[in-house]
């Protein structure tokens, strides 16, 4: 998303740059998105009750998370476009995407490898895991908000 925003928005905002690589409007929108996500996470941690997840909910959450632009990638792409090194910006974005993909893949692999242990913990300590999950989400929401 950050690459698309940079590629599509640069012609519109290039005249509003005070310093190379900065755009007050895009920065404000990015901050607002992070703030909204933080408030949602905090509210979810405070008011969420245990519930079952619908089939495919994880996929939709992954797609929604992928739509939030990375501020660093947006900055690098805008900077690269201003300095006419777009290929370098695209390589950076691609490298970031590979890193995120590898990180998520390792977490998924570890989950599969340790699924029996995780299932045991979920059966044995469901309330503790729920509390830890809500506390972690609440702290992340506070940090973002």
Residues 6+ apart with CB under 8 A from 47: none
Taking phi first (over 0 means left), then psi (-120 to 50 degrees means alpha), and beta for anything else, what does residue 56 get? left
Mean local confidence (pLDDT), 4-9: 73
Smallest Cα–Cα separation from 2: which of 55, 66, 63?
A: 66
pLDDT at residue number 102: 93
pTM: 0.51
Higher pLDDT, 13 or 79: 79
Quickly list H helices, the chain.
2-13, 24-47, 57-67, 71-82, 86-113, 115-124, 126-144
pLDDT at residue number 86: 86
Q: Is residue 69 classed as helix, strand or coil in its secondary structure?
A: coil
> Mind listing the pLDDT tens digit for each residue in 108-135?
899 889 988 888 888 898 888 888 888 8
> Mind listing the pLDDT tens digit for each residue in 65-109?
667 777 788 888 888 888 888 899 899 989 988 988 899 899 989
Q: Which two tokens stand for residue 28?
A: 């404000």
Residues 6+ apart with CB under 8 A from 35: 144, 145
Sorted by where each begins, the domain ranges of the chain are 2-89+133-144
């Amino acid at each position: 998303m950050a690459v698309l925003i940079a590629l599509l928005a640069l012609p519109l905002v290039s005249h509003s740059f005070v310093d190379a690589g900065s755009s007050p409007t895009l920065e404000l929108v990015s901050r607002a998105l992070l703030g909204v996500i933080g408030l949602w996470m905090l509210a979810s941690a405070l008011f969420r009750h245990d519930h079952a997840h619908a089939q495919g909910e994880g996929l939709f959450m992954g797609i929604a998370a992928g739509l939030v632009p990375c501020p660093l990638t947006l900055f690098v792409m805008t900077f690269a476009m201003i300095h006419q090194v777009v290929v370098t910006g695209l390589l950076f974005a691609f490298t970031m995407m590979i890193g995120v993909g590898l990180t998520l893949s390792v977490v998924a692999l570890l989950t599969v490898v340790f699924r029996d242990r995780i299932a045991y913990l979920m059966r044995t300590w469901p309330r503790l895991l729920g509390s830890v999950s809500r506390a972690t989400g609440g702290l992340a929401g506070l940090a973002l908000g």
